[in-house]
Amino acid sequence: MPIPSQIPASGARAAPGAEALAAQPRFLTRRMLLDAEYRVVGHELGINPRVPIPVLPGATSAGQNRDEHLLASVIDERYRDAMGRKLCLLELHSLDNALVEHLPRENTILRVPAQPATPELLARCQSLVRSGFSLALDESGCVPGMAPLARQCAYLRLDVGDNDLMGLCDRLVRLRDLRGPRLIAANVDSHEAFAACRKLSFRLFQGGFLTLPRAVAAKSIDSSRLLIMRLLNLLTQHAEYAALAAAFKLDAGLSYKLLRYINSPAVGLRHPIRSIDHVLLMLGHDQLYRWLTLLLFSHGQGDPRGGALLRQALLRARFAENLGERLLAAELRGGLFITGILSLLDALLDLPMARAIDGLRLAPAIVDVLLRGEGPYGPYLEMARACERGDQASLGRMAGQLDLDAQTVNMAHIDALIWQEGLDL
């Protein structure tokens, strides 16, 4: 994830206070964009505007400087290849930055800056739309005089946090003249808010609701997931291959899905694995345990959230593993991936975490972090969660505990996103 050393097309002097800001961290945050069917259709990436960041040579303002760091992450070729057609929603201080021209036009959504609709801004927006970009206008920008700008925007973004259904309806009534833009619901932090926004014809959804258990009637874990838990426990006990193979034969679909995951391009095997017997011989107990945890999300009773939860869990797992690669002892590193995956098991099963993991024989360090946020894995899981909710303060605190700089954290984050997008899910 390259960071430019010089800002293009600018001969201005660096902003005052560059030396003081240079020591401050800036962390990339990411929030999934879901459609009404819980499908992951993109990501919103950002750098908190309230957090100081290092000033690059040529920056004339803190806003321009922040844009440089964000854009440098998104124009990385590996990131672009991995994202494919998924949407990327970006909030920039200015749409005039030269690096904007290097973004993939067909799937980039640029949020229009919160500023007066000057002729210059309107002309720039028209130019971006003509060249293939999509624009999103925040609700706060829908004021008298902004109608010409609103007509250029494909999306209208509303912050629905802490808003009841009637209040949200009233806001939409006030915006009824803007019939063209598709609606993005931001900060959807409960399943009830998601359901309400979906009924009100919102098209895209961003927020923490996905990672929360739903308030549903008490239920039991279905038989297919119980079989996976049985296999995981057999692996923990280092059972003989014959016992493992016999358990796999109880569910042919389980073998098929496991083979599909393991043969994904992102795994990087030189030769495809064709059978469970081959899996057992090639991977061994520890690697097989990793992949079986994924099937907890995709091999149960039909749940439209399963795919999105699995992608979020994989991002947590890979991100945490990347961060701990050089910091944790070898015997502890393997638990980071399992921790990331299982950290969303409560949301998947709609159970308290203690009940969700009750049937699994887990290492004490994994139990400590899942139930209490403690132990050697605690800072890594907290950093993954903080990236999802845009919590720069927690990111900075945890990075300080682990002696990690922002560049290392951001590279671990982007690598996790690229790796996850390469899996055949």
Q: Decide if 18-211 and 223-421 have a common fold.
A: no
Mean pLDDT within 50-63: 53
- What is the share, in percent, of the chain residues with pLDDT greater than 70? 87
Check if the beta carbon of residue 98 is closer than 8 Å to that of residue 9.
yes
Structure confidence by residue, pLDDT tens digits, 168-199? 888 887 777 666 689 999 999 999 999 999 99
Q: What is the 3-state secondary structure (H, E, C) of the chain?
A: CCCCCCCCCCCCCCCCCHHHHCCCCCCCEEEEEECCCCCEEEEEEECCCCCCCCCCCCCCCHHHHHHHHHHHHHCCHHHHHHHCCCEEEEECCCCCCHHHHHCCHHHEEEECCCCCCCHHHHHHHHHHHHCCCEEEEEHHHCCCCCHHHHCCCCEEEEECCCCCHHHHHHHHHHCCCCCCCEEEEECCCCHHHHHHHHHCCCCEECCHHHHCCCCCCCCCCCHHHHHHHHHHHHHHCCCCHHHHHHHHCCCHHHHHHHHHHHCCHHHCCCCCCCCHHHHHHHHHHHHHHHHHHHHHHHCCCCCCCHHHHHHHHHHHHHHHHHHHCCCCCHHHHHHHHHHHHHCCHHHHHCCCHHHHCCCCCCCHHHHHHHHHCCCCCHHHHHHHHHHHHCCHHHHHHHHHHHCCCHHHHHHHHHHHHHHHHCCCC
Average pLDDT over residues 309-314: 95
Neighbours of 26 (CB within 10 A): 23
The one-letter amino acid code at 248 reads F
Task: List, for residues 246-300, the tens digit of each pLDDT value.
Answer: 888 888 888 888 888 788 777 777 788 888 788 777 777 888 898 889 888 877 6
For residue 393, list its beta bridge partners.
Answer: none
Q: Please give the pLDDT value at position 15.
A: 36
Rounded to whole angstroms, how far apart are CA atoms 282 and 236?
18
Q: Please report the pLDDT score of residue 170 as a whole number.
A: 81
* The architecture CATH gives domain 18-211: Alpha-Beta Barrel (3.20)
Least reliable range by pLDDT among 235-244, 251-260, 335-344: 251-260
The full set of domain ranges for the chain reads 18-211, 223-421
Residue 65 has what pLDDT?
Answer: 73
Query: How far, in Å, CA of 413 to CA of 46, rounded?
Result: 13
CATH of 223-421, one of 3.90.550.10, 3.50.50.60, 1.10.3210.10, 3.40.190.10: 1.10.3210.10
Ranking 82-86, 124-128, 393-397 by mean pLDDT, the lowest is 82-86
Given a contact cutoff of 8 angstroms between Cβ atoms, the answer to whether 395 and 27 are in contact is: yes
Residue partners of 398: CB distance under 8 A and separation at least 6: 379, 380, 382, 383, 386
In sequence order, the β-bridge partners of residue 204 are 184
Retrieve residue 410's tokens. Answer: 């951001």
pLDDT in tens, 198-215: 998 899 999 999 999 998
pLDDT value of residue 116: 78
Query: 275-289, pLDDT tens digit by residue?
Result: 878 877 777 788 889
Q: Which of 270, 326, 320 is nearest to 290 (CA)?
A: 320
